[in-house]
Amino acid sequence: MNIGDKIIDGKAIADAMKKEIAAEVAGMLDKGMDAPHLAAVIVGEDGASKTYVASKEKACQSVGMTSSVYRLPEKTTEEELLNLINFLNNDEEIDGYIIQLPLPKHINETKVIHSINPKKDVDGFTPHNIGLMQLGEPSFLPATPAGIMELLKRSGIETAGKRVVVLGRSNIVGTPISVMLSRKGADATVTICHSKTENLPEITRQADILVVAIGKPKFLKADMVKPGAVVIDVGIHRIEDKTTEKGYRIEGDVDFDEVIKVASKITPVPGGVGPMTIVELLYNTLQAKKRR
Ligand code: NAP
């Protein structure tokens, strides 16, 4: 197989979804409705968070949605943030909002997430939406795992009856993707691995589909992959690299150059899961508007 044919082009799939969302937004405007409105809250000066929020704003604009950003200083108190959340929960003009994580250490993240109105929780992080997802009922699905499901579907990758191994059990990626893949409809047989898993390579080598979300650059090597497996790389790492114009390059959790030789399909980093995450957030915002 040609190397290029192995690549799952997340950017192209995300662009196609953006066009679909833009058409729906245009349809709403034609009917005299307001555009869906996504708000983002960012507390402090975390560089990566600022980049993520800027790209979410840009994505909103590209599909005709309204976006607003609440930038709060690092020293913002928990009470001040909860007051803002209370405002966002009740503001008629805002359809959905996200609180960009991580928050500064003096703010209790759990308390903050629990305060988000589930009807506006377009990140799908509240216990209410996580519970609905677990039950297989309509909910806001967390964007990254929802994006992976859509990538698999639109790339024609069958999941029913397949052996899936998920590396990582975070609340935003590993755990929800294992729930989504094992539900009726997706019908995969899922194993979830974490830092206490023993004989990891032995388990990963059994996978027809590997989802890697462990937060360690180039962790998954070719000898951990069954020939012909599909590999989904969720990791994002900024690696200093003076040979590039920006002074850094982006790498995933998978040793791409080696693993592509054995995998049948693989997502690149950048241009794989990342663009899908943002587009799923737009999709959830559109749903939030429709439900209201
Ligand atoms: P996380 O919260 O850091 O969780 C990492 C998980 O990997 C944990 O469950 C941990 O196990 C497990 N782990 C760590 N070392 C391991 C090892 N040696 N063997 C097996 N399991 C191990 O990570 P996350 O938030 O899910 O993010 C994972 C990566 O995806 C990061 O690079 C992040 O930047 C990226 N990400 C990308 C997107 C996107 O849009 N593409 C979105 C979110 C995250 P324990 O539970 O036992 O500690």
Centroid of ligand 1 to alpha carbon of 144 (angstroms): 12
Structure tokens at 53: 């929020």
Beta-strand pair 248-251/237-240: antiparallel
Classified as helix, coil or strand, 273 is: helix
At 57, which helix (H) or strand (E)? Answer: helix 47-62
pTM (predicted TM-score): 0.96
Is it the case that residue 290 has pLDDT exceeding 80?
A: yes
Centroid of ligand 1 to alpha carbon of 219 (angstroms): 11
Q: Rounded to a whole number, what is the largest CA-CA distance in the chain? A: 59
Is it the case that residue 121 has pLDDT exceeding 90?
A: yes
pLDDT at residue 48, rounded to an integer: 84
Q: CA geometry: angle at 264 spanning 263 and 269, to 5°?
A: 65
Whose Cα sits closest to atom 35 in ligand 1?
Answer: 235
Average pLDDT, the chain: 96
Please give the DSSP secondary-structure letter assigned to residue 121: B
- Nearest CA among 117, 112, 15 for reference residue 63: 15
Which residues are near ligand 1 (CB < 6 Å)? 144, 167-170, 172-174, 193-197, 200, 213-216, 234-237, 253, 273-274, 277
Whether 190 and 226 have beta carbons less than 8 Å apart is answered as no
Whether 140 and 176 have beta carbons less than 8 Å apart is answered as no
pLDDT digits (tens, 9 = 90+) for 259-286: 999 999 999 999 999 999 999 999 999 9
Classified as helix, coil or strand, 169 is: coil
User: Which residue among the candidates 9, 95, 121, 123 is catalytic per the annotation?
Assistant: 123
Domains of the chain: 31-117 (3.40.50.10860), 143-274 (3.40.50.720)
